[in-house]
Amino acid sequence: METRHRELDPRLFESVEIDAYEGERIAGPPVGFWKDSWVRLKKNRGALISLAVLVLVFIVAFVIGPLISTHSPYDQNMTQRYLGPTSDYWFGTDKFGRDMWTRVWAGARVSLYIGLLAALLDIFVGVVYGAVSGYLGGRVDDVMQRIIEILNGIPSLIIAILAMIVFNPGIITISIAIGLTGWTFMARIVRGRMIQLKDQEFALASRSLGASGFRVVWKHLIPNSLGLIVINLMFTIPSAIFAEAFLSFIGLGIQVPEASLGSLISDGAGELRFHPYLLWLPSIVFCLLMICFNLLGDGLRDALDPKMRK
Amino acid sequence: MLRYVARRTLYMLLALFVIISVTFFISKALPGTPFADDKLTPQIRKQLYEKYGLDEPILVQYEKYMLNVAQGDLGNSFYFESRPVSQMILQRLPVSMFIGVQAVIFGLVIGMVLGIVAALRHNTLWDTLAVVVAVLGVSVPSFVLGPILQYWLGLKLGWFPIAFFESWIYSVLPSLALSVFVISTVARFIRTEMLEVMGQDYITLAKAKGLSGLAVILKHVLRNALIPLVTVMAPLTIYLITGSLVVEQIFAVPGIGEQFVQSIVVNDYSMILGTTIFFSVLFILALLIQDIMYGIIDPRIRISGAKE
Amino acid sequence: MAMNNDNILEVRDLRISFGTYAGEVQAVRGVSFDLRRRETLAIVGESGSGKSVTAKSLMRLLPEANTIFKGGEAIFDGRDLLKLSEKQMQRVRGPKIAMVFQDPMTSLDPTMKVGNQISESLRKHLGMSRAKARERSVELLKLVGIPNAEERVKQYPHQFSGGMRQRVVIAIALACEPQILIADEPTTALDVTIQAQILDLLRELQEKIGTSVILITHDLGVVASVADRIAVMYAGKIVEMGTVRETFYDPQMPYTWGLLASIPLPTADRSQDLIPIPGSPPDMSDPPKGCPFTARCPYAMRVCPTEFPEYTTFSAEHKAACWLHHPMAPNVEPPARVGGTR
Ligand SMILES: Nc1ncnc2c1ncn2[C@@H]1O[C@H](COP(=O)(O)OP(=O)(O)OP(=O)(O)O)[C@@H](O)[C@H]1O
Ligand SMILES: [Mg+2]
């Protein structure tokens, strides 16, 4: 032995229990999936600001906006047309003298409502379809997938236009038209996840303990797919909001005297030359909604599924 | 490969069949045809019904309708007395195509450059720019962008005319309004795809061979990142179709989209249904070409008929 | 220090970290070793111990974005690899040092014909014409034992099985007859019979071409059959190093004991004897300042977590870092399962 050793305190060479050091080195309690995701989301400033803005828009659109205004979105006042933003009419008035402030927020309410309804439909149709298809597998899955493939060949917004022509235009028709055509993507994602999960140990264990198929899906597979579902919903919502505004813009959506951001933008575009504020105000609110939902969606995707980062 | 193409074609034909059937039954369920007008005497109404074949049993009508559509006959416009719908569509097609193709070319070029630069300069100002453009592009729809361009480049700066279609200069603003979405989609897609490819083992191996950075990018990264770009073709087609509805409306461009919106306003049902079928065919063709092209450039599909 | 003539590569005090959102991950924390001409040096250690990072840093293939080079040198041909410019490095990769990666399924470009992937480096480094390079690729494929090579060069990677793909990757690595071949777990992703074939192939080619090999693995069985010397890594440090003989028959460090106890002996009844090491390696974003194995070491002493032990030398080749070799430490015998290999 050539190595030179320093003189050290002999007590240093007493043996110790391993546990004493293991305890010292454990970094902290393991963090759960959702908590972990929340930590990641909090690091994303764009997503956080978007969330805050959305909450704010929600509150203003549903509570504060209508409450603090003395005007109604429908009352016409021919003596007060094209007023431009004033201290009385904060967003001005339109060509019938209607108050734009309340009309814009009524439009925002429609957008938010459509977004939520489309999300619900996406869950009830898309998630259920995907879960059934993926869990059952075999022939059923085959047929269900072929159906989706055919549906994907159908341009959904065009079908929504037809639906709007046949049925009475209105918020319910719009929601159904948008919801019925928008769920296939969700179904595919959920199905893929089901197939990936169903042979994993916890599902097998649960099945071997005699749990019914429904129970396995509901108690094990769906909770484990929740992250993916949430991410997807965050992209369904803005596209539904867009679809409604689009339909309303070409005159097929919300009918007068109701207001939607799409129809307000359409009216505003016609008044561009002399009363541009009629275009700017609804456009700003609409784009704000879209940007916030998209940024929040991006943020959630990065936070919930770092591997899926796109 | 052949089986793959045959299978895709079959699905597309089925989808088309579903769409045309839907349009037919919708046309039967419509609340009011132009002939439901109370001012018409029963006599004239009967004549009209006979003229348009509306008095036959529904299945016979269905069969006739399907056969006609299969031959490209979309019926006659209700509104513009008896002008064939297909002729009216074809007449307006060139203008819409011109604006759409111009938007796609412009969008592809700018979007690809932006996406590639963003990926190569990941986490720099360029990257941030690409991300911002991508979010704005999907968040600001053409029906907001169109009026903004009209106001700013047309009214304020006076660079471009804001309506009608008389020469090339008139196409600039509509194409621009359509292209922003293309730019953002393509830039986002290329950026993501390149970042993903650059993290792959085969890129590390290419570097480990001692290839220069440029050779690695050109021969391996771009090749792998651009192949999937084919898959944006169908989504872009459907976007251009729906986009043309609003953009042509905003800029008063005499294209198919503007005609479609007008036919909705005047309840010209045969025009609406005919255009719907035309749009669907366009979309399905794009989808089919997309799938086949993907098969041709990706050796994994070309050779084994399926992706691993 | 003058370069020993037998050494083709001398790595000194290599330190590499990564910037991550959880802080700085210290993947390699002062690694030193020599690679002799024509030898096979095995680097073993658990997942995450820094083997791949060590290997990739020699090729300078770590991601530029978040790699923090903390220090050290790697002398090859009288030059420090870690200080070469990117241009100079491109002339080293391929003809001087080549690499084989762990997963053959992802190592080949799916959109390029296999032949072209081999030709690329031939054309770049040996200046071959297209036709010449193609001819040579066929030869190389034959060399690595791919039947029907003339046909196979025109195929795409997905038309090859995993084992065949790894042969292609080896052909690419050997195309320019490199002086050093770094094989990072070349057989981990393959099934057992193919593993043996690939290892045989590597050994055979090494003899033919005369390359030195750095073989990274966590399979000690592989080490025993192909390596000359072995370096045991734990938490970014080399904790024991020696000839395969010395290290297997006379291991000097509890972590090595644990590793040896966890491999099946060819003679023994496998089901009974395998003893995995309990616990898991430390978090490298906050590595312990003493011996990193302390928390899992059955012989831990008070001194262990306070300071990393010096290396004790047992022979010209054999050294280990463990406080048990301090003269003041109690005498500890390796467990019977390891002693049994003596
Ligand atoms: N690009 C990177 N960014 C951040 N951390 C990294 C990076 N590459 C490696 N690491 C970390 O460095 C440590 C060492 O990794 P390395 O890949 O060298 O392990 P290994 O010994 O090769 O393990 P395995 O046997 O699993 O291949 C790990 O903790 C790993 O998480
Ligand atoms: Mg490794």
State mean pLDDT over A292-300: 90
Residue at C296: amino acid letter = R
pLDDT at site A21: 45
Question: Strands (DSSP E) along chain B, which ranges?
Answer: none
pLDDT at site A28: 43
Give the pLDDT band of residue A25 (cuts 50, 70, 90).
Answer: very low
pLDDT at residue A22 above 50? Answer: no
Q: Are A144 and B5 in contact (CB under 8 A)?
A: no
Closest residue to atom 27 of ligand 1, CA basis? C47
Degrees (nearest 5) of the Cα angle C18, A29, C262?
A: 70
pLDDT at residue B173 above 90? Answer: yes
Q: Tell me: the pLDDT tens digits for B270-285?
A: 888 889 889 989 988 9
pLDDT at residue A4 above 70? Answer: no
Q: Which residue of B has its CA nearest to C117?
A: B206
- The ligand 1 atom nearest the CA atom of C49: 21
pLDDT at residue A271 above 70? Answer: yes
Phi, psi of C290 (to 5 degrees): -90, -150
Selected residue with higher pLDDT from A236 and C35 = C35
Q: Hey, which chains touch A, using 3+ CB pairs under 8 Å? A: B, C
Q: For a pLDDT cut of 90, what percent of chain B falls above it?
A: 35
Q: How many CA atoms lie within 13 A of A36 on its CB side?
A: 12
Q: Spell out the domain ranges in chain A.
A: 43-69+92-308
The Cα-based distances of C125 to A249, B206, B235, C90, C298 in angstroms read: 62, 13, 44, 9, 52
Q: Tell me: the pLDDT tens digits for C126-151?
A: 999 999 999 999 999 998 888 999 99
Ligand 1, pocket-test mutation among C16, C17, C25, most atoms within 8 A of CB: C25
Q: Which residue of A has its CA nearest to B270?
A: A162
Closest residue to atom 16 of ligand 1, CA basis? C50
Mutate: best of B205, B222, B229, partner C, most C CBs <10 A: B205
Give the pLDDT band of residue A26 (cuts 50, 70, 90).
Answer: very low
Q: Exposed e or buried b for every residue in B147-165, given b needs 16+ CB within 10 A?
A: bbbbbebbeeeeebbbeeb
Q: Tell me: the pLDDT tens digits for B183-220?
A: 999 999 999 999 999 989 999 999 999 999 999 999 99
Does A209 contact C at CB distance below 8 Å?
Answer: no
Does A26 contact C at CB distance below 8 Å?
Answer: no
| Number of cross-chain residue pairs from A and C with Cβ atoms under 8 Å apart | 64
pLDDT at residue A1 above 80? Answer: no
pLDDT at site A121: 86
Q: pLDDT averaged over chain A? A: 79
pLDDT at site A306: 58
Which CATH superfamily is A43-69+92-308 part of? MetI-like (1.10.3720.10)
User: ipTM score here?
Assistant: 0.86
Mutate: best of C289, C291, C294, partner A, most A CBs <10 A: C294
Selected residue with higher pLDDT from A22 and B140 = B140
Give the pLDDT band of residue B304 (cuts 50, 70, 90).
Answer: low
Burial of A49 (0-12, 13-18, 19+ CB in 10 A): middle
- The ligand 1 atom nearest the CA atom of C20: 4
Q: pLDDT averaged over chain C? A: 87
d(CA B84, CA B295): 38
pLDDT at site C180: 94
Q: Are C57 and C28 in contact (CB under 8 A)?
A: yes
Contact (CB<8Å) C111/B213: no
pLDDT at site B33: 58
Q: How far is B136 from chain A (nearest CA, A)?
A: 7
Closest residue to atom 18 of ligand 1, CA basis? C50
Ligand 1, pocket-test mutation among C28, C53, C222, most atoms within 8 A of CB: C53
Q: How far is A297 from chain C (nearest CA, A)?
A: 21
Q: How many CB atoms lie within 10 A of CB C262?
A: 16
Closest residue to atom 11 of ligand 1, CA basis? C27
Give the list of residues 6+ apart from residue C220 with CB closer than 8 angstroms, or none: C44, C248, C259, C260, C263
Q: Are A285 and B142 in contact (CB under 8 A)?
A: no
d(CA C69, CA C18): 8
pLDDT at site B71: 85
Selected residue with higher pLDDT from C156 and A206 = C156
Degrees (nearest 5) of the Cα angle A288, A172, B136?
A: 20
pLDDT at site B37: 60
Q: Which residue of C has its CA nearest to A5?
A: C326
Q: Which residues line ligand 1 (CB under 6 A)?
A: C 18, 20, 25, 27, 45, 47-53, 63, 66, 218, 284
Q: Which residue of B has its CA nearest to A164?
A: B264
State mean pLDDT over A245-249: 89
Nearest to C176 by CA among C91, C104, C252, C81: C91
Q: Exposed e or buried b for every residue in B246-262, given b needs 16+ CB within 10 A?
A: bbbbbbebebbbbbbbe
Map chain C to HEC letters: CCCCCCEEEEEEEEEEEEEECCEEEEEEEEEEEEEECCCEEEEECCCCCCHHHHHHHHHCCCCCCCEEEEEEEEEECCEEHHHCCHHHHHHHECCCEEEECCCHHHHCCCCCCHHHHHHHHHHHHHCCCHHHHHHHHHHHHHHCCCCCHHHHCCCCHHHCCHHHHHHHHHHHHHCCCCCEEEEECCCCCCCHHHHHHHHHHHHHHHHHHCCEEEEEECCHHHHHHHCCEEEEEECCEEEEEEEHHHHHHCCCCHHHHHHHHCCCCCCCCHHHHCCCCCCCCCCCCCCCCCCCCHHHCCCCECCCCCCCCCEEECCCCCEEECHHHCCCCCCCCCCHHHHCCC
Mutate: best of A2, A7, A16, partner C, most C CBs <10 A: A16
Q: Which residues of C touch A21 (CB under 8 A)?
A: 294-295, 300, 304-305
d(CA A176, CA A128): 17
Degrees (nearest 5) of the Cα angle B256, B261, B265?
A: 140
Provide the token pair at C60.
């300078």
B-facing residues of A in 138-177 (CB < 8 A) are: 146, 149-155, 157-159, 161-162, 165-166
Cis peptide before C157 (omega within 30 of 0): no
Q: Are B254 and B89 in contact (CB under 8 A)?
A: no
pLDDT at residue A310 above 60? Answer: no
Does A91 contact B at CB distance below 8 Å?
Answer: no
Give the pLDDT band of residue A37 (cuts 50, 70, 90).
Answer: confident
Contact (CB<8Å) B210/C86: no
Q: How far is C149 from chain B (nearest CA, A)?
A: 19
pLDDT along chain C (342 residues), means of 10: 74 93 88 94 92 94 90 92 93 93 90 93 92 93 90 92 90 91 87 83 86 90 88 94 92 89 59 65 87 88 89 91 88 68 41
pLDDT at residue A309 above 90? Answer: no
Contact (CB<8Å) B192/A252: no
d(CA C164, CA C141): 10
Mean pLDDT is lowest, of A196-200, B4-8, C167-171, C194-198, for A196-200
Give the list of residues 6+ apart from residue B70 with CB closer than 8 angstroms, or none: none
Count, in order, helices (H) and strands (E) of chain B: 14, 0
CATH class of domain segment(s) B85-301: mainly alpha
Residue at A237: amino acid letter = I
Contact (CB<8Å) C94/B205: no
Q: Tell me: the pLDDT tens digits for B117-130?
A: 999 988 888 888 88
Say how many Å lie between the CA of residue C47 and the centre of ligand 2: 7
State mean pLDDT over B37-41: 66
Look at the block and give the residue holding tokens 């918020």.
Answer: A171
Tell me the whole-structure pTM to 2 decimals.
0.84
d(CA A277, CA A265): 10
Look at the block and give the residue holding tokens 């730019």.
Answer: B183
Q: Tell me: the pLDDT tens digits for B40-95?
A: 677 777 777 777 677 778 888 888 888 888 888 888 887 777 788 889 999 999 99
